[in-house]
Every structure is written in structure tokens, then in C-alpha cells.
Amino acid sequence: MKKITFLASAALMLMACSNDEKEYDATGTFEVTEVTVSAKASGELIIFEIQEGQELAASAIVGHIDDTQLKLKKEQLESTKAQLNANRRQLGANRNATSSKQLDLEKQVASIRQQIANARREKQRYTELLRDGAVPKKQVDDISYQISVLEKQLAATQDQIRSNNASLAQQSAGIDAQIEGINAQSAGIDAQQAQLDDQIANTSIKSPITGSVLEKYVEQGEFVTVGKPLFKVADTRKVTMRAYVTSAQLEHIKVGQAVKVTTDYGNQKGNTYKGVVTWISPRSEFTPKTIVTDDERADLVYAVKITVDGNSDIKMGMYGKVKF
């Protein structure tokens, strides 16, 4: 009988000890990634119809700032560039025309030389006939005169070619300088157009992440300036819990460790999720007033971040418990 009573007492003591064990090692709050989207351009907000609580996809266009003046500037630059291109083509045409004239003169030189060669052969033939008395001397003299005229014409044409070559070199250098200046202006316009393209792109308001709209700061029709906050969006799919542990607990915790996280709805109600320790603070800090650790006597604690899976019911700012 005494043995039975002893065993019963031992069982009750074990149950009591088991009941005294805490169901969690630390508590904390749930956080999500929040992004405040600001205006990248100034102007009237002509489209902006998002609502708080609305789900947005990453890169989704949710609004538009008036870009009329920017587009008009771009059109003006395009007109200026078209004129520069026309000037460049005209300079090229002028150079080609001058080169074509020079080529014609060179063709004339070749033709005159051929005529002189033909005339000399003809003179040789008539000179032999003259010895035989078959032709009068006047015919040989006429051919000699013709050769003399062709030689003078050849010399004049060659002088013109040399003169034109010097002039062409100067003209070519001038044209090259003008084309270089046009190219520089065109490059400057390209840079301005690229800048305007970037500014026009910035008039489209996009959501940087997939998430839910938390707050909306402006309304459609308002004038906004660069840097003015427009709305805040949070990625509610990725929830982390920030908890605080003592140095005694820290030696049993490591990055990558699997843990259990329980939401705290009050009245001992909550759901349990799987979590993974993703970050441990490298330095200690004083215990935040809103945090209860396993050892309330400790003044210094370490922050720990835990990524939580299956978090569709978890809301940002909600309290939770973690068991390592």
C-alpha cells in the first residue's frame, strides 16, 4: 500500500513539473517588408486609382504623372536632329560633287593623252608618205599643230587638277570639321533624348513589389513633386518574427535552425507554423519594454529574426511565441 502511494505521488510530481515548463522560449512581433513609393517626376497626377488593401503585382503600373511637356521637348529634339542629319547629307553631297568633277578632269587627261598618241602615230605615217611624195607637207604640218594644241590642253588640264586637288583638300578638311561638329551636336541630342526617355518613364508609377497597399497619401488630380510619398505597399506573403533571447538561450540557437512559431490571439488561442532562424543580431541591446524573454531578470538580450511559412493568417504587428 505504501509503495502504491509513493508511485502515485511521484507521478503527480512529474506532472506538476511538466506543467511548469513554458510552452515558448521567447515572444515577439510579426513584421513584413514595407516599401514607401515616392514620385520620381513632378506634375499633375492624372491617373491614380489604387485603394488601401488592394493587392498589387510587382512592376504593375498603378498611376501616371502628366508627361505632356516632356514629350513636346522630345519632339523638338527629334526635329533638330532631323535638320542636322539633312545638313550632314548635304555636306556629303557637296564632297561627292567636287570629287566627281575631279574625276571628270582625270578622264579628260586620259582622253587627251590617247588623242596625242593617236596623232603622233598618224604624223609618223604621213611623214613616211611625205618622203615618197604621196602627200603634201601641209598635212604633216596640220597634224603637228594638232599635237601641239593637244599637249597645251593636257598641260592646262593637269594644272587644273593640281589646283583642284589643293582646293579639294581644303574643302574636304572644312567639310570634315563641319560633319564633326554636326556629329557632336547629334550626340548631345541623343543624350538629351535618353534623359527625356528616362524622365518620361519615371512618370509611370509602379509597385516595386508584390503586396498589399497599406496607406495612400495622395489623390488623383493632385500636383506632386519629386520625392513626394504616394503610397505604401507591404509584401504580406513574407512574414518574419522579431524575438529577443538572453545570452543563455543564444548558445542553443543558430541560423538555419527550425523552430515552431505560434500566433497569439489572446485567450490561449493561436495557430502554429514552421519557421527558420534567418538572422541573429551580432550585438546585444537592452530589453525592449514590450518584449518578455525567458529570463526577465536579464537586462541585455539579442534580437533574432525568424522567417515563417504558411503565414496567410498572420498580420503585421501581431504578437507571437517561438519555441526553439
Q: Is residue 226 one of the residues assigned to a domain? A: yes
Domain membership of residue 253 (yes or no) is yes
**Is the domain of 255 the same as that of 235?**
yes
Tell me: the pLDDT tens digits for 4-51?
A: 333 333 333 334 344 445 678 898 999 888 999 999 999 999 999 899
What gap in Å lies between CA 249 and CA 277, rounded to an integer? 14
Amino acid 191: pLDDT: 95
pLDDT of residue 21: 57
Residues 95 and 219 in one domain: no
Q: What CATH number does residue 39 fall under?
A: 2.40.30.170
Judgement on whether residues 136 and 149 belong to the same structural domain of the protein: yes
Let me know whether 153 and 266 are in one domain. no
How much is the pLDDT for 154? 84
Indicate whether 144 and 119 sit together in one domain.
yes
Strands laid side by side in the 223-224 sheet: 204-206, 61-65, 43-48, 223-224
CA dihedral 59, 64, 69, 70 (to 10 degrees): 0
The answer, yes or no, to whether residue 124 has pLDDT greater than 80, is yes
**149: number of Cβ within 10 Å:** 14
Range of weakest confidence among 136-145, 193-202, 294-303: 294-303
Q: Which residue has the higher pLDDT, 76 or 124?
A: 76
In this structure, the answer to whether residues 74 and 166 fall within a common structural domain is yes
Query: How high is the pLDDT of residue 259?
Result: 94
Stronger pLDDT, 159 or 281, i.e. the higher one: 281
CA atoms within 13 A on the CB side of 47: 10
| pLDDT reading at 163 higher than 80 | no
Q: For a pLDDT cut of 70, what percent of the chain falls above it?
A: 87
**pLDDT for the residue numbered 104:** 77
Q: Are both 80 and 188 inside the same structural domain?
A: yes
Q: What pLDDT score does 171 carry? A: 77
Mean pLDDT of the chain: 83
Average pLDDT value for residue range 89-118: 82
The last residue of a domain, from among 154, 176, 201: 201
Which residues of the chain form beta strands (DSSP E)? Answer: 26-38, 43-48, 55-56, 61-65, 204-206, 211-216, 223-224, 229-245, 258-263, 272-280, 285-286, 300-308, 319-323
Residue 95 banded pLDDT, cuts 50, 70, 90: confident
Rg of the Cα trace of the chain? Answer: 47
Quick one: which of 41, 31, 48 has its CA closest to 217?
48
- For residue 163, give its domain range: 68-201
Question: Does residue 80 fall inside a structural domain?
Answer: yes
* 173 & 270 share domain: no
Query: Do 81 and 195 belong to one domain?
Result: yes
Domain final residue, candidates 148, 170, 201: 201
Which pLDDT score is estimated for 5? Answer: 33
Distance, CA of 263 to CA of 274 (rounded, Å): 11
Question: What is the pLDDT confidence band of residue 258, given thresholds at 50, 70 and 90?
Answer: very high
- Listed residues 149, 182, 201: the one ending a domain: 201
**Which comes out higher in pLDDT, residue 88 or 133?**
88
Question: Which residue is associated with the grid cell 590617247?
Answer: 114
- CATH number, domain of 187, equals 1.10.287
For cell 597645251, the residue is: 152
133 and 236 together in one domain:
no
Q: What does the pLDDT read at residue 196?
A: 95
Q: How sure is the predictor about 99, in pLDDT bands with cuts at 50, 70 and 90?
A: confident
Kindly report, residue by residue over 39-79, the tens digit of the pLDDT.
Answer: 999 999 999 989 999 999 999 999 999 999 999 999 999 99
User: CB-based contacts of 294: which residues, under 8 Å, 6+ apart?
Assistant: 22, 25, 26, 245, 246, 249
| Within-domain flag for 62 | yes
Please state which of the ranges 35-49, 91-105, 132-146, 221-235 shows the lowest mean pLDDT. Answer: 91-105
What is the total count of domains within the chain? 2
Which pLDDT band holds residue 3 (cuts at 50, 70, 90)? very low
